[in-house]
Structure 1
Amino acid sequence: MAAARLILLIPSFNTGPLLRETVSTALATGLPVLVVIDGSTDGSDQDLEDLTGSDSSPASLEVLRLHPNAGKGNAILQGIRHASKQGFTHALCMDADGQHPANAVPAFAEIVLRHPEAAVFGRPVFDASAPALRVNGRKVSNFWANLETLGWGIDDSLFGMRVYPIAPLLEVFSETPFARRFDFDPEVAVRLAWKGIPIINLPTPVRYLSTEEGGVSQFRYCRDNVLLTWMHTRLFFGFVARLPWLIIRGSNPLLHLSPPHDR
C-alpha cells in the first residue's frame, strides 16, 4: 500500500475562543490542518485569520467554510473530499472544543505509518471532569456497535478522535444518506467494520471543560439519543442481512495489536 499522507481535520460549529486554542495546538504538531467551519454564527472562524498562511506556524492551515450548518458528519464529508483532491490519504479528526489532546497526535500518526490499511480509533481515558451521564450512556451505543459488527473491535463508538483512511470513508458516505450529524461517529465505525477495514484502538485522554473554562457542547440529550436509537435500529437489520458473510470473514486481524505507548 502507498505511503500515508495524513491531515488533521477539525470540524467546528460555534466553539468560540476554544477553536483558536485547538487549532494552535494542532498546528504545533507539524501536520497540515484543515478546519471546516460548519455554518458557525459566533465569529470564531475570524480568530483563525492570522494563523492562515502564517510564516511562524510549523504547519499549514486551511479553512473551509460551509453554509448553513448541516452537521458534523457532513462537515467531515466535505473535509475529506477536499483533502482527497489534495492527495491526502488519511484524515485525523479531532473536535474543536478542547476535548481531544493534540499531544496524542504523534501516537496516531505512528500507527498510521505502520498500518495505513487500518482506521485508528481513540479509546477515551476519562478523568474526573467527565459527566457520569455521558460516560455511562455511551456503553449502550458501544454494546450495539459491537453486536452489529460481530465483535470487530470498536472499543468506543462515540469518541471523535480518529484516523480514517479517506477512500473507504468516502465509500461509506456514498452508500448511505445517513451519518451526516451526531450519528456520524458510530455509524461510520460500524460500516467500516462491515467493509473489513481493520480497526486499531488507541487509549486517548479526554477532558470535559466546564462552562467557566469556556466549554461548549452541541450534544442534545433527547434529540441525539432518538437519532442514535433510530441509527442502531437500521444498523441492526443491516447486520442481520450481512451475518453469514461476517461469520465467514472472521475477526479483525489487528484487534489485539498493542498501541506504541502500551508496549
Structure 2
Amino acid sequence: MLEFNPVILIPVYRHGKACAEVVDSIIQYNIPIILVDDGNEEETKSYLAQIKEKHGGLELVTLPKNQGKGGAFKAGVIRAKELGYSHVLQLDADGQHDSTKIPFFIEKAKSSPAKMICGYPEYDETAPGHRKGGHKFANTWCAIVTWSGKIVDALCGFRVYPIEPAYRFVTKKFFDKRMGFDTEILVQLMQSGVDVEFYPVKVTYPSDGISNFHAFRDNVRISWVFTKLCIKMMLMSPVLLWRKFFK
C-alpha cells in the first residue's frame, strides 16, 4: 500500500471567486491542492490564474471543454495518481462545506486508509427544502441498491477516496459525469467491496451563490443512474446476499 499522502481535489466550474476564498481558507492545512478547470469561461479562468499565481505550489489541470463534476474528478484523480498521492479529498468549489473539517477527515482516512470517508450535511436555515428532499430521495434508493443502511448521505461532495479504487472506477467504468456522479461512485465502490464511514459536515447555501444544477436535465440523469444501479444490484444479488449473511 502507498504511504499515506493525501491531496485536496477541487473541481471548478463557474465558481472562480468562491474557489479563491476556499483555497485561501484551506492553504493553512499544508495539504497539496489540485484544481480542475472544467472548461470555464474567461472570468473564472482569470480567478484560477490568480489563485495559481498566489499559491504557486498547487496543481492546475485544465479541461478544454466542460465535462461535468464527474469528468473533472476523473481528470483530477488521474493527475493525483501520476503525482503519487494515496488519497484524494474531494471538496466543492462553491464554499458550501465547512472546510475546517478537513484535518478531521484526513485523520480518519489515515487511520482507515482502505475506506471512503464521507460527509453528511448538517443544514442551517439557508438550506432549501428541495435540497433536503432530494437528499432523502437519493438516500432511500441507495439503501435499496446496496442492501445496506450504511449510506447516510449519497450526494454530499465532501469525501476522501483511496486513490486506487477511485482511479480504477474513473478509468474502467462508464459513469454519469454530471449530477449523478457523487451517488454513482459511492454506490459502485461499495458494491465492489470498499467500506465507508460517514461524519457530519456543516453546509451553508449563500443567497447569492451560483448553482450548476439544471432541474429537468439533472433529475433525468439522476433517475437514469438509479435505474442503472438497480439493474446492477439485481445482477449482483448473489454476491450481495453472501456479503450480507456470510461475510
TM-score by length of 2: 0.94
The aligned residue for residue 138 of structure 2 is 141
How many Å separate the matches in 2 of 1:100 and 1:124? Answer: 8
Task: Point out the structure with the larger helix share.
Answer: 2
Amino acid in structure 1 at the alignment position of 2:111: R
2:225 to 228, 231, 245: 231
The percentage of aligned residue pairs carrying the same residue is 33
Contact preservation (8 Å) 1:53, 1:61: no
TM-score by length of 1: 0.89
Contact preservation (8 Å) 2:119, 2:157: yes
Does residue 246 (structure 1) correspond to residue 240 (structure 2)? The answer is yes
1:150 to 125, 140, 147: 147
Of 72-81 and 150-159, the range deviating more from structure 2: 150-159
Query: 1:153-172 residue pairs with structure 2 within 5 A?
Result: 153-172=150-169
Amino acid in structure 1 at the alignment position of 2:238: P
Does residue 74 (structure 1) correspond to residue 71 (structure 2)? The answer is yes
Query: 1:35-184 residue pairs with structure 2 within 5 A?
Result: 35-52=35-52, 54=54, 60-151=57-148, 153-184=150-181
Amino acid in structure 1 at the alignment position of 2:114: E
Contact preservation (8 Å) 1:157, 1:186: yes
The aligned residue for residue 215 of structure 2 is 221
Aligned residue pair count: 246
**Per-residue displacement from partner, 1:207-250 (whole Å, max 9, x unpaired)?**
11111xxx111011111111111110111010011111112113
How many Å separate the matches in 2 of 1:8 and 1:2? Answer: 17
How many Å separate the matches in 2 of 1:65 and 1:42? Answer: 13
Pairwise CA RMSD = 1.7
Contact preservation (8 Å) 1:27, 1:60: no
How many Å separate the matches in 2 of 1:81 and 1:64? Answer: 10
Of 34-43 and 184-193, the range deviating more from structure 2: 34-43
Q: Displacement of 1:94 after TM fit?
A: 0.6
Instruction: Give structure 1 regions of 4+ aligned residues with deviation exceeding 4 angstroms.
Output: none
Decide whether aligned partners of structure 1 residues 120 and 168 sit closer, same or farther in structure 2, where only a CA change above 3 A counts.
same
SS in 2 for 1:219: coil
Q: Displacement of 1:50 after TM fit?
A: 4.4
How many Å separate the matches in 2 of 1:217 and 1:178? Answer: 22
Amino acid in structure 1 at the alignment position of 2:83: Q
Amino acid in structure 2 at the alignment position of 1:75: A
How many Å separate the matches in 1 of 2:14 and 2:43? Answer: 8
Runs of 5+ unmatched residues, structure 2: none
SS in 1 for 2:206: coil
